[in-house]
Amino acid sequence: MSIHDSAATVDSAIRSVIAQTETGWELILIDDGSRDDGADRVAAHNDPRIRIIRSGERKGLACRLNEAVGLARGAFIARMDADDICYPERLKTQVAFLQANPDIDLVASKAIVFRRAGEIVGVMAPPVAHDDIIARAYNRFIFPHPTWCGRAAWFRTHRYDEAMPITQDQELLLRAAQHSRFATIDRILLGYRKEGISLSKSARGRILFSRALWRHAGESGTKRRAIAQMAKHIAIFAADMAAIGLRAEEWLLRQKVGTTLTDDEAAQWRALWRDVGAGDEPGLQVQAGAQSVRAPSSPKRPLS
């Protein structure tokens, strides 16, 4: 987990890792030049499975993710943002899936989208099968980055592009898809915090991803397809800008999230928020991180 000025939310993220039904994990936390006491808050948990690397230098998310992957000692690597919350069965479920499906390199899951005070916005429900996940690669991958869990060897082979300040996940998936197999567990395993939509971040992300598309198209001979998709990115951003200009940001956010929760899913989230999320003060900008899960040494240990 890489953090930057995440003191307001990192406690709930850490509590959700400590509460995992899989106990054989290590959490590698890299402080990316924070100006607050987030790292001290993590240290206060006093758990020997948590390794803290402090740095006064700001290097960015992609760099810190690569560093965390390099430090990880486990056979599997999971990641999340410092303002997200893992469901207790997340690691056990995802690692068990990878062990049962040796052809899969990287697995995601559904994620409940929430904002301050645990308010439910909706659910992110990615496609389940590999072919469906990559079907609209030039548009975007619906494959939530904070829900990823994969083989350590895959992360070391397919490193994050450190020149990408945002949308690192989309560029990585685009570059790795031809040589990888992806899957999604059709179950909510993570709470994904989303307070609103930033037009400036959206515009920057689409520009950066369009550049990655063009580079990939040049290497794969699909420039005509890339041009069509780049035009769509411009049209989508224009529509987003118009919706926000009409003060329809709330409607836009819910449209982008979609998927209604069942009563049981809503109840599970409320219980999880009560156990690990309540009491935090959301609102600070946070970065994503990486967490490594050690391969179990005996079959009786719960697997994630």
Q: Where are the domains of the chain?
A: 2-292
Q: Which CATH class is domain 2-292?
A: alpha beta
For residue 19, the SS3 value is coil
Return the percentage of the chain with pLDDT > 90, whole number: 60
The 10s digit of each residue's pLDDT in 189-248 is 999 998 765 555 666 666 777 777 767 767 766 666 666 666 665 666 565 565 556 555
The 10s digit of each residue's pLDDT in 173-192 is 999 998 999 999 999 999 99
Per-residue confidence (pLDDT) for residue 99, from 0 to 100: 98
Question: Is the pLDDT confidence value at 290 over 70?
Answer: no
Per-residue confidence (pLDDT) for residue 206, from 0 to 100: 66
Task: For residue 81, give the nearest of 159, 177, 169 by alpha carbon.
Answer: 169
